[in-house]
C-alpha cells in the first residue's frame, strides 16, 4: 500500500462519524473502548493446518484443511513467533486456544492419556510473559485410537477408557493454565463420534457418551481455573448420517449439568439462523462458547469475513446484553493462503462486527418496536447499514496501535519474505 492515510485525516473522519452516531444516542468513544475490551480467543491451529506436534499423521475426525501454501509453523517456537506477529496486527484483547497435540514434551513421546501440565510449560511461560491467557481442547482425532470413528462413545471399553483418561488429563491441564493466568481457561469437549451411514443403534453411543462425560466432569477443580463447554455438531465428513454429540444431545446435557454450550457457526444446517439460538440457549445454560467460522456449503471452516451471519451473531449477543456470558472464539483453518493473514483477516472481521454491534442504537429500535412502530424499527436497521462505520473502525485500529485499513498486508509480506519463505 503506497498511500498513507494521515492520522489527522482519520481523526477528522472520526469526528464526523462520532457526531452521526451521537445523533442516534450512541457514544462511539465508548463503543471503541468496549469493543477493544472484549477478549477473543484465537485458535492456534490455523497456524499449522491442525496438524499438531505429534507427527500423528493427517487430520482426521471429519474435519479438513485443503491447500499447501508455504510457511506452515512446524513447532512451538515457530507457532508462537507467528502468533505474536499476527497479534501485532489485530486490535483488542486476545487469548490463545490450544489443542492437546500442541504439547512439547521435550523429545519424549507422551501418550495423550498421560499428558501433564508440565508438557505445556513453554506455553504457560509464554502466556505469562505476553499476558495472553490460554484456552484448551482435548483432541479426539488424528490418532489411531480414533480410527473406528468413535472415541468417548465407543463400544470398546479400552478405547473409551483411553479417551476418558485423555479428557481427564486435559481438564487438569486447563486448570493449570487457569492457575497460571489467574483466571479460568476454557476447556471445550468436541468428539467426532458418529457414523457414515444410518446406524441401527443411535441410543447406545449416546448413553455411553453421556456416562463418559458424567465421569469426566465429576472431577472438580479449584474455582476460577477452568470453564467447561461441550460442542455440538450436525455432521462431519464420514459422520453424515449420525453424530452422537448432536445439538439436541448437548443442549440437554449442558442444561442438565449447567455448563456452557459451544455453538460453532459451521455446525448447523446452512438454512438455520445461528444468531437466533443465542437468546434461546442463554435462558437454559450458564453461557455459550461461540466458535466463529465460515461454512461454505458445508462445515468448510473458511476464514470468517464481515458477513451477514457474523454480524447478526454479534448483534444478537449485544441485543441480549450477553457479552459477559458468551465467550468469543475463532475456529477455522485454511491452508491455501498465508496463515498469518488468515488469522488477521478472521480476527479483524470479528472485532469489526463486535464494534458495529456496539454502535447499534438498539434502545431506539426496541422502543419503536414496543410502540408498534415497526416501520421505524426497520428504518433504523436500514439506516444503520450506511452510517460512517468505517471511520470508527479506522479510529479503533489507530487507538489500538495496529495498522489501519489494508496497511497490515505490507507487514505480512515482509514476514513472509524474511521468515516464512525459509521454512
Give catalytic residues, as residue numbers: 190, 231, 233, 264, 267, 291, 299, 301, 331
Q: Which residue in the set 48, 54, 316, 331 belongs to the binding site for ligand RNT (CB under 6 A)? A: 331
Task: Using the minimum distance from each CB to ligand RNT, give the nearer residue, 91 or 304.
Answer: 304
Q: Compare residues 85 and 235 and give the one whose CB is closer to ligand RNT.
A: 235
Q: Is 291 in the site for ligand RNT (CB under 6 A)?
A: yes
> What x-and-dash track marks residues 311-350 binding Zn ion by CB under 5 A?
--------------------x-------------------
From residue 316, give the alpha-carbon distance in Å to each of 106, 243, 277.
Answer: 45, 27, 9
CB-based contact 299:63 (threshold 8 Å): yes
Rounded distance between C-alpha atoms, residue 254 and residue 267, angstroms: 17
- Each residue 165-204 as x (binds ligand RNT by CB under 6 A) or -, in order, gives -------------------------x--------------
- Which residue from 382, 285, 304 is spatially nearest to 277, judged by alpha carbons? 285
Q: Report the alpha-carbon distance of residue 109 to residue 294 in Å, rounded.
A: 35
Q: Tell me which of 82, 135, 231, 394 binds ligand RNT, using CB under 6 A.
A: 231
Look up residue 374 and give its DSSP letter. H
Cβ closest to ligand RNT, residue 10 vs residue 298: 298
Read out DSSP for 160-215?
HHHHHHHHHHHHHHHHHHHHHHTSPEEEEE----EESS--S-SHHHHHHHHHHHHH
d(CA 252, CA 247) in angstroms, rounded, equals 8
Give me the numbers of helices (H) and strands (E) for the chain, helices first please. Answer: 14, 10
Helix H or strand E encompassing 231: strand 226-231
Residue among 45, 150, 162, 163 that touches ligand RNT (CB under 6 A):
45
Instruction: Please state the closest distance from residue 229 (CB atom) to Zn ion, in A.
Output: 10
- Positive or negative: CA dihedral 78, 82, 85, 91: negative
Shortest Cβ distance from residue 101 to Zn ion (Å)? 16
Cβ nearer to ligand RNT, comparing 349 with 391: 349
If one asks whether residue 291 binds Zn ion (CB under 5 A), the answer comes out as yes
- Would you give the distance in Å from CA 232 to the centre of its chain? 14
Least distance from ligand RNT to the Cβ atom of residue 106, Å:
24
Beta carbon nearer to Zn ion, 206 or 291: 291
* Contact positions with Zn ion (CB under 5 A) in 251-290: 264
* 233 near ligand RNT, judged by CB under 6 A: yes
Quote the CA–CA distance of 66 and 75 in Å, as a whole number: 20
Confirm or reject binding of residue 50 to ligand RNT (CB under 6 A): yes
Question: Residue numbers of the site for Zn ion (CB under 5 A)?
Answer: 264, 291, 331
Question: Residue numbers of the site for ligand RNT (CB under 6 A)?
Answer: 45, 50, 63, 137, 190, 231, 233, 264, 291, 299, 331
Amino acid at each position: 500500500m503506497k498511500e498513507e492515510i494521515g492520522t489527522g485525516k482519520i481523526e477528522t473522519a472520526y469526528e464526523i462519524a462520532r457526531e452521526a452516531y451521537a445523533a442516534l444516542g450512541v457514544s462511539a468513544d465508548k463503543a471503541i473502548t468496549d469493543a477493544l475490551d472484549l477478549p477473543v480467543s484465537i485458535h492456534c491451529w490455523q497456524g499449522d493446518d491442525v496438524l499438531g506436534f505429534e507427527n500423528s499423521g493427517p487430520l482426521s475426525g471429519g474435519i479438513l484443511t485443503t491447500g499447501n501454501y508455504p510457511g506452515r509453523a512446524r513447532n512451538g517456537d515457530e507457532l508462537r513467533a507467528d502468533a505474536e506477529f499476527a497479534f501485532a496486527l489485530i486490535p483488542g484483547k486476545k487469548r490463545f486456544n490450544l489443542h492437546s497435540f500442541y504439547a512439547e514434551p521435550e523429545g519424549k513421546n507422551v501418550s495423550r492419556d498421560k499428558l501433564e501440565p508440565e508438557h505445556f510449560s513453554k506455553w504457560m511461560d509464554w502466556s505469562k510473559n505476553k499476558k495472553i491467557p490460554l484456552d484448551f481442547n482435548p483432541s479426539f482425532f488424528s490418532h489411531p485410537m480414533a480410527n473406528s470413528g468413535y472415541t468417548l462413545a465407543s463400544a470398546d471399553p479400552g478405547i473409551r477408557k483411553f479417551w476418558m483418561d485423555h479428557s481427564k488429563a486435559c481438564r487438569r491441564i486447563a486448570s493449570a493454565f487457569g492457575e497460571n493466568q489467574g483466571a479460568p481457561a476454557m476447556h471445550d469437549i468436541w468428539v467426532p463420534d458418529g457414523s457414515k451411514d444410518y446406524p441401527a443403534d443411535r441410543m447406545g453411543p449416546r448413553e455411553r457418551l453421556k456416562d463418559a462425560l458424567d465421569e469426566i466432569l465429576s472431577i472438580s477443580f479449584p474455582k476460577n481455573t477452568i470453564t467447561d463447554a461441550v460442542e455440538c455438531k450436525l455432521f462431519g465428513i464420514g459422520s453424515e448420517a449420525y453424530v452422537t454429540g448432536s445439538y439436541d444431545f448437548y443442549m440437554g446435557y449442558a442444561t442438565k449439568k449447567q455448563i456452557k454450550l459451544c455453538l460453532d457457526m459451521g455446525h448447523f444446517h446452512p438454512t438455520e439462523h445461528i444468531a437466533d439460538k443465542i437468546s434461546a440457549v442463554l435462558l437454559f445454560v450458564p453461557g455459550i462458547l461461540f466458535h466463529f467460522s465460515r461454512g461454505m456449503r458445508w462445515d468448510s471452516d473458511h476464514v470468517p469475513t464481515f458477513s451477514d451471519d457474523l454480524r447478526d451473531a454479534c448483534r444478537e449477543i449485544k441485543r441480549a446484553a450477553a457479552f459477559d456470558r458468551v465467550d468469543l472464539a475463532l475456529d477455522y483453518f485454511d491452508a491455501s493462503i498465508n496463515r498469518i493473514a488468515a488469522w488477521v483477516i478472521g480476527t479483524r472481521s470479528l472485532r469489526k462486527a463486535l464494534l458495529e454491534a456496539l454502535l447499534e442504537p438498539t434502545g431506539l429500535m426496541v422502543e419503536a418496536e414496543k410502540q408498534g412502530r415497526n416501520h421505524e424499527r426497520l428504518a433504523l436497521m436500514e439506516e444503520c447499514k450506511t452510517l460512517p462505520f468505517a471511520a470508527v473502525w479506522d479510529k479503533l485500529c489507530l487507538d489500538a496501535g495496529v495498522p489501519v485499513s489494508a496497511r497490515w498486508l505490507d507487514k505480512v509480506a515482509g514476514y513472509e519474505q524474511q521468515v516464512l519463505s525459509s521454512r
